[in-house]
Structure 1
Amino acid sequence: MKNLQLNNKWVLVTGASSGLGQEMARQLAHVHKANLIIAARRADKLNELKAELEQTAGVQVKVIVADLSIPEAADLLVAESIAEGNLYAAILNAGVTYFGRHTELEWDKFDSILKTNVIGVVRMTNALVKYFDKPGRQGGLMLVSSMAGFFPVPYQAAYSATKAFTTAFGNALHNELTNPDFSITVFAPGGIATEMTHGAEFEALQGWLMPVKQAAKEAIHALVTRKYNYVPGFFNRVGNVFMNFLPGKFIGSKMSKVYLRSLNKAQQGK
């Protein structure tokens, strides 16, 4: 299967108003000269990014404001993205987390996590696969998961569960495809230094977080080279292999201590 060629092609990026999504959009525009459809909830951030990229990278950018915790908004986003029949690739990056004791997670917050990380992703993926999985249509789809989907993270139980779903869903669907020119990639980073991990509860974990520029570069590489599963960062990849030989309970216990220490430190500082 040939690598994707993004130059002058249209690429959809969700969650593009900040963090990994925003940085991927910048690199797609500047390095790969891709035209972009950028989506998120914050119109002001998206319009700022559009103006920046059109001026500095000389690409075309379309803005779609969408709250992807609303299923109908996810449907509409894809419908608008494929309306002209020229969408070449899509990166489903939008996601939300919760760091704290699961018993303290309010139901409406959990419901929002589930709708954004799972239901929205599935609805968009369903529509995109129907669009791409046809003879002669080239393209790629990347689902942004997490290493937390491989090794469940205490105090991020709901987030870990949604990312485990994303990984399993993407990998399984990859093997149902009939079009040899279309691929589904699952990108599974560890922690990334973004707005989502900027809160006080993550302060003690900052040394573990990957710079967002590196994560974005490796994400685009995974998309372009049509990886099946891709974990960015050499040490993350080594750790991912090594941890498969350790008991899950042992890994969970060690991670629990690290995350609880960070959580307690943040609560003491309030």
Structure 2
Amino acid sequence: MNRRFIDQVAIVTGAAAGIGFEIARQLAREGAFVILNDVDAEQAVNAAARISSEYRGHCLPLPGDAGSLPVIQALVDHAIDHFGRVDMVVANAGLTLFADFFEFSPADFQRIMNLNLQGAFFLTQAAARQMKRQATGGRILLMSSNIGQRAYPYLTAYSMTKAAISTMARSLVLELSPHGININAIAPGATLTERTELEDPAYAEVWSERIPIGKVGMPADMAAPALFLLSGDARHITGQTVVVDGGWSGVSNNPEVVIHSQLKK
């Protein structure tokens, strides 16, 4: 087993389930101390306990809205209070809202911007300030989406936030690199999680037909490149967005086209 993160300290938001949980779990598996955040307090506590029990490590819950400025500062403070430092941040928490552009409300617009953009921006700022004080560098990983690079029906506001996340990773290279801080993003495609399966029991079957490699993504498929970008192996990579979607964004002009079946013809 790789132990790339022994005694390093990570903050992972939106991590009670799905991709965030798998990233937190694998960081702990490889030796990291993890501050696990989720808006659902009970799920955050249970997820942290599960990880700590599984790997006999330290995974501490800190529930709260990851778009809230006090919660963001509390996450950094919690890491300092318990472990004395912050080495890695994964700004995973995000909100997806499907809605007709013509009917999209100002309230929903603010909700998605507050979590997806404000949360990522100010968590990055708070963590980078601490990393700068430590003078030991650090790694920041943002969560974009392949939908930030392609048109998809009823997801304009969400798509805007995910495109902005990629721009943020690229832009911050200038300000963070002098302090030894690398910042990157991953852009997951269709991924089978507790949420997506609950929303559509046929999710895996439907998306397996649309993805060129013929199978839907799993949280572990997203965690693998995430951990690589957080590791020392990626020390010369910064400002990049890595798309992890089984080839969907490379060939799809119409998101409703069943690509896999077409390629078989």
Asked if these proteins are the same fold (TM beyond 0.5), I'd say yes
Contact 1:143 1:186 in 2 (8 A): yes
2:79 is aligned, of 78, 81, 88, to: 81
State the match for 2:54 in structure 1.
56
Count, aligned residues: 243
Change beyond 3 A, Cα 1:137–1:117: same
1:47-196 correspondence to structure 2 within 5 Å? 47-83=45-81, 85-133=84-132, 136-179=135-178, 181-196=180-195
Partners of 2:23 and 2:227 within 8 A in 1 = yes
Judge conservation of contact 1:171–1:186 (CA < 8 Å) in 2. Answer: no
Question: Which SS does the other structure have where 1:176 is aligned?
Answer: helix
Distance of 2:244 and 2:97 partners within structure 1: 24
Alpha-carbon offset, residue 88 of structure 1: 1.2
Inter-partner Cα distance in structure 2 for 1:104 and 1:71: 29
Cα separation, partners in 2 of 1:234 and 1:108, compared to 1, 3 Å: closer
Q: Deviations over 1:45-98 (max 9, x none)?
A: 122122222222011111111112333322332333345541111111000101
CA distance in 1, matches of 2:28, 2:118: 29
What are the Cα deviations for residues 196-253 of structure 1, in whole angstroms up to 9, with x where unaligned? Answer: 43313984743243111111122111221244324354843xx65x56xxxxxx93xx
User: Judging changes above 3 Å, is the alpha-carbon distance between structure 1 residues 195 and 105 closer, same or farther for their aligned structure 2 residues?
Assistant: farther
Structure 1 position 20, deviation (Å)? 0.3
Gaps of at least 5 residues in structure 1 are: 244-249, 260-270
User: 1:13 aligned to 2:24?
Assistant: no
Q: Which residue of 1 aligns with 2:200?
A: 200
Aligned residue identity for 1:215? M
Structure 2 CA distance for partners of 1:5 and 1:181, relative to 1, 3 Å: farther
Q: Structure 2 vs 1, CA of residues 62 and 142 (structure 1 numbering), >3 Å: closer, same or farther?
A: same
**Letter in structure 2 aligned against 1:206:** W
Taking a change above 3 Å as real, the CA distance of residues 202 and 158 of structure 1, as seen in their structure-2 partners, is farther
For the Cα contact (< 8 Å) 1:38–1:61, is it kept in 2? yes
Contact 1:99 1:201 in 2 (8 A): no
Instruction: Answer yes or no: is 1:41 the counterpart of 2:39.
Output: yes
Q: For 2:135, what is the secondary structure of its paired residue?
A: coil
- Cα shift at 1:114: 0.8
1:105, distance to aligned residue in structure 2 (A): 3.3
What is the letter of the counterpart of residue 147 of structure 1?
N
Name the residue aligned to 1:266: none
Structure 1 counterpart of 2:207, one-letter code: Q
Identity fraction in percent: 26
2:263 alignment partner in structure 1:
none
Distance 1:151 1:104 in 2: 21
Normalised TM-score (structure 1): 0.79
Q: Is the 8 A contact 2:217 2:245 kept in 1?
A: no
| C-alpha separation in 2, matches of 1:110 and 1:168 | 19
